[in-house]
């Protein structure tokens, strides 16, 4: 690698409303590498629980390019993008360690995987099922990906069993 070449860095781009796929497709067509971590969420709609996959950072997408080559103008003018997150006139570089850690926690499609190790006493957020968006405390775990959590339901500690892919560490 010659000394004048820079290593691509990661930046955070703000998306226009409802433009995730448009922005991702247009950035990739221009040769930019993108990263959009996703997570499953369960919401109640008309009395039923519906599980969908949503961005982990709603309204944002990570974009990689060489900072010194002035590509930020091309990203800012991409259909579906509002702007790169900047400090003053300079786009802010996202620490490479943060991106690599996020990528390690995702499967090949960018979906966040469940936490590898949960310990008794850990605080977790239930991300799917009838208790979605409840905070609970891990009581114990089992090898077959079952986790027993304690939740405060009507002022009383209640034990609930969930799959490890239904929770996220806080």
Q: What is the pLDDT of residues 105-161, one digit of tens each?
A: 888 888 887 666 788 999 998 888 888 888 999 998 876 678 899 998 888 888 988
The residue ranges of every structural domain in the chain are: 9-104, 123-169
The domain made up of 123-169 is a member of CATH 2.30.30.30? yes
CATH assignment of 9-104? 3.30.70.940
Contact 136, 126 (CB under 8 A): yes
What confidence score (pLDDT) does residue 144 get?
67
The pTM assigned to this predicted structure is 0.66
Distance, CA of 130 to CA of 127 (rounded, Å): 9
Exposure letters 157-170 (e unless 16+ CB within 10 A, then b): eeebebebbbbbee
Distance, CA of 14 to CA of 91 (rounded, Å): 12
Average pLDDT over residues 79-103: 91
Answer whether residue 31 shows pLDDT above 50. yes
What confidence score (pLDDT) does residue 123 get?
92
């Amino acid at each position: 690698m010659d000394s004048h070449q820079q290593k691509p860095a990661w930046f955070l781009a703000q998306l226009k409303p409802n433009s995730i796929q448009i922005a991702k497709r247009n950035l990739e067509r221009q040769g930019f590498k993108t990263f959009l971590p996703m997570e499953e969420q369960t919401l109640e709609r008309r009395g039923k629980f519906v599980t969908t996959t949503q961005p982990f950072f709603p309204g944002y997408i990570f974009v990689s390019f060489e900072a010194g080559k002035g590509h930020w103008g091309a990203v800012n003018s991409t259909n579906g993008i509002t702007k790169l997150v900047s400090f003053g006139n300079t786009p802010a570089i996202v620490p490479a360690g943060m991106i690599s850690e996020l990528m390690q926690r995702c499967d090949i499609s960018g979906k966040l995987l469940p936490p590898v190790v949960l310990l008794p006493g850990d605080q977790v957020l239930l991300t799917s099922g009838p208790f979605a968006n409840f905070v609970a405390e891990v009581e114990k775990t089992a090898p077959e990906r079952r986790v027993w959590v304690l939740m405060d339901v009507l002022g009383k500690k209640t034990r609930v069993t969930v799959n490890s892919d239904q929770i996220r560490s806080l």
